Amino acid sequence: MRPTILNPLFAEIRTLDGVGPKLEKLISGIAGPRLVDLAFDLPVGVIDRSYRPKLAEAEIGRIATVSVNVLKHTPSRDRRQPYRVLCSDETSTLELVFFHAHADYLNKQLPVGSRRIVSGKIERFRDALQMTHPDHIVAPEDEGGLPLHEPVYALTEGLTLKPLSKAIRGALAKLPELPEWDDPAFLAARGWNGFASALRAAHMPENEGDLRSETPVRMRLAFDELLANQLALLLIRRQMRAAAKGRSLRGDGRLKAKAIAALPFALTGAQLQAIAEIEADIAAPNRMLRLLQGDVGAGKTVVAFLALLNAVEAGAQGAFMAPTEILARQHMASLATLATAAGVRMALLTGRERSGRDATLSALAKGEIDILVGTHALFSEDVTFADLGLAVIDEQHRFGVHQRMLLQGKGGRPADVLVMTATPIPRTLALTAYGDMDVSRLTGRPPGRKPVATRVLSADRLDEVIDHLRRAIAGGARAYWVCPLVEESEKIDLAAAEERAALLKRMLGPIVGLVHGRMKGAERDAEMARFKAGETAVLVATTVIEVGVDVPEATIMVVEHAERFGLAQLHQLRGRVGRGSGKSSCLLIYHGKLGETAKARLKTMRETDDGFVIAEEDLRLRGAGELLGTRQSGLPEFRLADLAVHADLLAAARDDAQLILARDPELQSPRGQTLRVLLYLFGRDEAVRYLRAG
């Protein structure tokens, strides 16, 4: 149960005055559905209204707050003319200008003969001073309500600053005085405020400097968010390990030896080391929770398969889970030879095919299937293993902590879990996302892999790109052509995959195929198969090919609107080529003029192909929130912490969390109780459930 002290903060935002359904939808879109989400929506800018000149000395172009008398209203004669209100102080006059104004409203706001404080940008029109749509108009007795330093928040279409600011103020007004959960000596040493007062202060910046992630106020908030994250991960980790006591699987190596003998290549040192780490975990009595991190093409699949064989040798079953239908099928196909060589029984289970499903499930329950390959369908209620020993989750960032937990119950006894990600994650971020796991890294690429020549080109040179493609295809090459969206949207000028495919077909002939996210699975698979078989030579695609698709013959990757992709995504895309023996190239096409960040990003792509370097750079350039470019990434999103800046705080939070749990494992002490409040505040309810009631 959430501590009652937090209840006001967890009220829905529609309970605020002035927030109706429309505003609620807009606000929850950018912040979240509850008051706490609003309170955590920190300002991104500040308007300084403290400049209070007499009119005669007011600087043109500057935001000023002036005190004036209202002299006269001049309503607009037609809709194109503005409504004007003439005002003055003892030194000069100022005309307030309103377009599409309501006379009633303005008469009420600015009655003739009254005194008003108005704030906005001073402009000059002909010889007179004017202010178009003042930001604030208040009577002298209400001056206290006029913010001299006004926080600016990120907005979205249809949402303006005023109602959002008002809602945020409303949320902050509900902020209770929270108990202190941090160590007083630690706070004193850092010079940090209490959480609530820091949060209020964060919403009252006076200058740009106050918005920096390094201010004591922002650091305090970030630290607590990271502490909640680390505590939660440690609790989950402890829970998963505790649930796993007593299981130890030891393979004898006979199946593995057969599979390795059937491999057309030798395993690399990094692969062998990863396999050894995994096997040691599987053999240990504790539950394995290991992350196998390796760049695109690093050869994770074979490592996972050998680990699965290890479990099968020990008499258990294995599950191999992929994030998409395409990938599940691809794993199934590419592992078939090895499975046959090893003599293990492998089957496929996805959400799509209905026929054969019952037979597969019953064989699985009887232990007649050794390794089950599939998608999320493996999580379904009706899937029962006879004895699941090891579950491998490929491309974990699409699954997230919650699904990792779900796996626990399968087959009665908790299985060992190996999670794989091809998205190289900076060390700092790995700790926040996978702090509950041990990590193996597959550094380097398999031998024989050639670097991919990368060029950055303006869309003005599309003709050249197509020419280049035509020649390459004539020589037998195959190419991906990636576009960010499926259909041309009126508002955003993105190159649409469908249109691009049509154009390329006109220019290059019928050898152009198309896959996109809105296609039915079977259709998409057929299209992929045609490309794999060489029936098509150019595959136009939305980013559905981003993850793991393996066509070694493809040697050219064209990415349109490359400026819109994050570094990690570009890196993944580029990793689709350079897989075979041919020389590969990657053409990054940008549209329009490049911004500084996009420029830096594309430069990084040209300069390195080390995924871990790219990931660090991505974190530096964009911050963690956007690191993977997607919200469904499964990585935690921090609202108060900025990992590009707060990496040191993360380490401190990690140490603190470890110390806390070592001293007070169930968070029962007085400080422990306050830390429970912290966990709830940051929505880590799940972790609290693993604590003894207290």
Tokens found for residue 284: 């240990």
Among 239, 268, 375, 572, binds ligand ADP (CB under 6 A): 268
Q: How far is the CB of 422 from Mg ion (least distance, A)?
A: 6
Binding flags for ligand ADP, 6-35, as an x/- string (CB under 6 A): ------------------------------
For ligand ADP, the closer of residues 21 and 448 by Cβ is 448
Tokens of 37: 């989400």
The yes or no reply on residue 339 touching ligand ADP (CB under 6 A) is: no
Per CB under 6 A, which region of 15-23, 296-304, 457-465, 481-489 contacts ligand ADP? Answer: 296-304
How many Cβ atoms from other residues are within 10 Å of residue 102's Cβ? 11
Run of H or E residues at 46: strand 45-48
Residue 566 binding: pick among Mg ion, ligand ADP, none (C-beta 5-8 Å cut-off by kind): none
Which of 101, 302, 462, 657 is close enough to bind ligand ADP by CB under 6 A?
Answer: 302
The residue from 134, 297, 435, 582 that contacts ligand ADP (CB under 6 A) is: 297
Backbone phi, psi, residue 566, to 5°:
-75, 160
In 100-174, at which residue ranges do the beta strands (DSSP E only) sit? 115-121, 123-125, 128-132, 136-138, 149-152
Taking the complex as a whole, the smallest distance from the CB of residue 548 to Mg ion amounts, in Å, to 4
How many angstroms separate the CA atoms of 221 and 212, rounded?
A: 13
Q: Is 137 helix (H, G, I), strand (E, B) or coil?
A: strand
How many chain residues interact with ligand ADP (CB under 6 A)?
A: 19
Secondary structure element (H or E) that encloses residue 602, with its range: helix 596-607
Nearest approach in angstroms of CB 49 to ligand ADP is 54
Q: Which of residues 548-607 bind ligand ADP (CB under 6 A)?
A: 548, 550, 579
Shortest approach of ligand ADP to residue 378 CB, angstroms?
18
CB closest to ligand ADP, residue no: 299
Q: Which amino acid is at 248?
A: S
Binding of ligand ADP by 184 (CB under 6 A): no
* Three-state SS annotation for 212-265: CCCCHHHHHHHHHHHHHHHHHHHHHHHHHHHCCCCCCCCCCCHHHHHHHHHCCC
CB 608 within 8 A of CB 614: yes
Which positions from 410 through 469 interact with ligand ADP, judged by CB under 6 A? 422, 446-448
The upper half-sphere exposure of residue 165, i.e. CA atoms within 13 Å in the direction of its Cβ, equals: 19
Cα–Cα distance for residue pair 558/588, rounded to 1 Å = 6
Binding mask 506-545 for ligand ADP (x = CB under 6 A): ----------------------------------------
Compute the least distance from the CB of residue 394 to ligand ADP, in Å. Answer: 7
18 binds, among Mg ion, ligand ADP, none (CB under 5 to 8 A by kind): none
Closest CA to 584 of 507, 472, 500: 472
Query: Residue 449 CB, nearest distance to Mg ion (Å)?
Result: 14
Selection from Mg ion, ligand ADP, none that 507 binds (CB < 5 to 8 A by kind) is: none
Pick between residue 216 and residue 269 the one whose CB is nearest to ligand ADP.
269
CB of 591 to ligand ADP, least distance (A): 29
DSSP code of residue 158: T
Shortest approach of ligand ADP to residue 417 CB, angstroms?
A: 17
Q: Which is nearer to ligand ADP, 186 or 265 (CB)?
A: 265
Instruction: Give the 3-state secondary structure of residue 286.
Output: coil
Binding residue (CB under 6 A) for ligand ADP from 42, 219, 234, 298: 298
Q: Near ligand ADP by CB under 6 A, which window of 238-246, 261-269, 428-436, 452-460?
A: 261-269
Write out the binding residues for ligand ADP, residues 604-663 only, by CB under 6 A.
none
CB of 480 vs Mg ion, minimal distance in Å: 17
Q: Is 300 in the site for ligand ADP (CB under 6 A)?
A: yes
DSSP alpha helices (H): ranges in 93-134? 103-109
581-586-588 Cα angle (round to 5): 175
Residues at the interface with Mg ion (CB under 5 A):
548
Q: Which of 594, 634, 632 is nearest to 403 (CA)?
A: 634
Which is it for strands 554-559 and 478-482: parallel, antiparallel or unpaired? parallel
Question: Which of Mg ion, ligand ADP, none has residue 282 at its interface (CB below 5 to 8 Å by kind)?
Answer: none
- Nearest approach in angstroms of CB 330 to Mg ion is 9
* Amino acid occupying residue 99: F
The separation between CA 505 and the C-alpha centre of its own chain, rounded to angstroms, equals: 35
**What is the rounded CA–CA span in Å between residue 326 and residue 83?**
61
DSSP percent split of the chain into helix, strand, coil, nearest 5? 45, 15, 40
Minimum Å gap between C-beta 394 and Mg ion is 6
DSSP symbols for 522-581: HHHHHHHHHHHTTS-SEEEE-GGGTTT---TTEEEEEETTGGGS-HHHHHHHHTTSS-SS
Show the site string, 139-168: x = touches ligand ADP by CB under 6 A, - = not: ------------------------------
Residue 193 near residue 201, CB atoms below 8 Å: yes
Give me the least distance between CB of 544 and ligand ADP, in Å please. Answer: 16
DSSP string, 322-333: -SSHHHHHHHHH
Contact range with ligand ADP by CB under 6 A, out of 294-302, 525-533, 538-546, 626-634: 294-302
Q: Does residue 299 bind ligand ADP (CB under 6 A)?
A: yes
Nearer to ligand ADP, 320 or 385 (CB): 320
| Contacts to ligand ADP by CB under 6 A | 265, 267-268, 271, 294, 296-302, 422, 446-448, 548, 550, 579
